[in-house]
Amino acid sequence: MGIAMRFLALFLVCASCCTLRAGGVARRVHEVSGTLPELPTIDVASPDRFLNDLMLSPYWKVERRDQGVFVATARSVGRDTLAEGHSFLFELMMNPSPVLPRDCLIRNGCLVGGRSFNALSISVVFQKPERPGVAFGRPQDHVVIPVHESQEETIGRNSESFLAISLSSQHEIYVVLSETGPDQTRAITFSKALPAMRELARLAATPAEYRVDERYAEFFALFFTSTAKDHEIQRFPGNQGRDIFYGFFRTKPDTSYAGVNIKISHPVYCPDEGTDKRYRLAKAEYLGKPYCDGDLVFFHIEDNSVSVPSPYDQRFGVFTGHETFEGDIEVLNDREQTLLKAKGLFTSHEQ
C-alpha cells in the first residue's frame, strides 16, 4: 500500500496560525459568498508520485504529523512575518526575473499580513476534509464560505475559514486554503486560489523523470552562490534565538533524506542537546527521492532554539545574558544518521 493511501484523517493545516484554538467550541459567526476564477484543471492519477514531487519542490514543506499523516504546506517569503507585501515562494518564482526583498525570510507556512489583510495557509491534503465548516469549490463555482470563531461572539482576529478544491477525480486529494482574521470578505482566499492552482498544475505536469537542480535552477541561483558542493547550510536569524537553517544536499545512494531535522549541542553547556528532541522530530522535513542520481534536495527548518541549564542560562540568555557560545549543529535524518555537521554561535532561549 502506498504512502498516500495510508494517510489517516487529514485536515491539519498551518499549525502556527490557522488552527482552532484550544479551550473553545467553534461557532459560525459569518459567511461570505463569491465566485471562484477560472482555474487550471488538475487530475492527479498517482498520489504517491504527486506527494514525492511536493517533497522535491523547494516551494513546499512536507511534514509527517500525528499518526503518520503527511501535510504539504506552501512556503512564504518576505522581510519579516508582520510586514505587508509577503507572497508565497512559488509566486515569487513565477516572476520572469525574481528578485529577493532585502533581508527577506522564507517561512514554512502562513502568508502573514499586516494591518490590511488576514493570514493564509495553503496546504495539500490526501483525504477529503471532514471537519465542519469546510467549503468545497470547483473552477468558476459560486461558493459560500463559513467563518468560525472559538473565542469571541463575532468575527475577529482568530476567526477561521477553509476552502477545499479537489485535485483528482480518482483520489481524495485537495488543496485547502485556510484563512484566519477579521476580514469579512475573505479576499485573500479568493485572490490566492488561482496562483496556488497554477503552481499545483505545473507540479502535476512534471515529466516522468527530471532533475531537481535543473527544474528549480532559478531558485537555487537566488539563494545560493553555488550548488557544486555536496551540501551547504545557511542561517536566517530568528526572533528570540529561534533561528532558521536552510540548505541543500547533493544526494548519495543508500542515504535517506526523510525526516530531516536539526540537533544543536555543546560539550559543556548542553552535552546531550540544547534542542527539544520531541519538537525537532515533530517538525522534521521530508525531502523526497530524486529521479536522477546526484541530484539536489532542499531543506528549510525553522524555530531552532537552544536552551541551556542554570547557571549557564545567566550568561547566554537571549534577554538577560551578554555572551554567546559556539555550538555544534548536526543535520540528521529519520534514522538518526548525521548528514551534515557545522558550527554556530548561539544564545539560550528564554520564555
Cell of 197: 492552482
Helix, coil or strand: residue 182: coil
Instruction: Tell me the C-alpha distance between 245 and 108, whole Å.
Output: 12
Which burial class, exposed, middle or buried, applies to 57 when counting CB atoms under 10 A from its CB (0-12, 13-18, 19+)?
Answer: buried
- Residue 142's φ and ψ, nearest 5 degrees, are -90, 120
Structure confidence at residue 85 as a pLDDT band (50, 70, 90): low
Q: Which residues contact 255 (CB under 8 A, 6 or more apart)?
A: 333, 337, 339
Band of pLDDT at residue 20, cut at 50, 70 and 90: very low
CATH code assigned to 212-346 = 2.60.40
Q: What is the pLDDT of residues 130-157, one digit of tens each?
A: 877 899 998 888 999 999 998 888 999 8
Per DSSP, the residues of 203-242 read HHT--SS--HHHHTHHHHHHH-S---SSEEEEEE--GGG-
Query: Which pTM value belongs to this model?
Result: 0.89
Cα separation, 171 vs 45, whole angstroms: 7
Cell of 328: 555544534
pLDDT tops 90 at residue 111 = no
Q: What is the mean predicted confidence (pLDDT) over 4-24?
A: 37
As a 3-state breakdown, the chain gives helix, strand, coil percent values, each rounded to 5, of 20, 30, 50
How far apart, in whole angstroms, are the C-alpha atoms of residue 198 and residue 176? Answer: 14
* Integer Cα distance of 241 and 228 in angstroms: 30
Q: ∠ CA(323), CA(329), CA(333), 5° rounding?
A: 155
Q: What is the mean pLDDT of residues 301-314?
A: 92
CB of 131 within 8 A of CB of 121? Answer: no
* Cα(171)–Cα(227) distance, integer angstroms: 37
Nearest to 306 by CA among 232, 238, 233: 238
The CA distance from 164 to 218, in Å, is 30
**Mean pLDDT to the nearest integer, 269-285:** 95
Question: Can you give the residue ranges of every domain in the chain?
Answer: 4-204, 212-346
Burial class of residue 96, CB neighbours in 10 A (0-12, 13-18, 19+): exposed
**What are the strands, taking DSSP E only, across 191-337?**
231-236, 243-250, 261-265, 296-304, 325-332
What residue ranges in 5-141 does DSSP mark as E strands?
A: 27-35, 60-64, 70-74, 76-78, 87-88, 105-107, 119-125, 134-137
Structure confidence by residue, pLDDT tens digits, 197-249 = 999 999 999 999 999 999 999 999 999 999 999 999 999 887 778 899 999 99
Average pLDDT, the chain: 87
Q: What number of other Cβ atoms are within 10 A of residue 264's Cβ?
A: 22
* Distance of alpha carbon 112 from the chain centroid: 13
Cα separation, 248 vs 92, in Å, equals: 20
In this prediction, residue 349 carries a pLDDT of: 87
Q: Give the Å distances, CA to CA, from 126 to 46, 102, 163, 274.
A: 11, 36, 15, 35
Give pLDDT tens digits for 64-78.
887 777 889 999 987
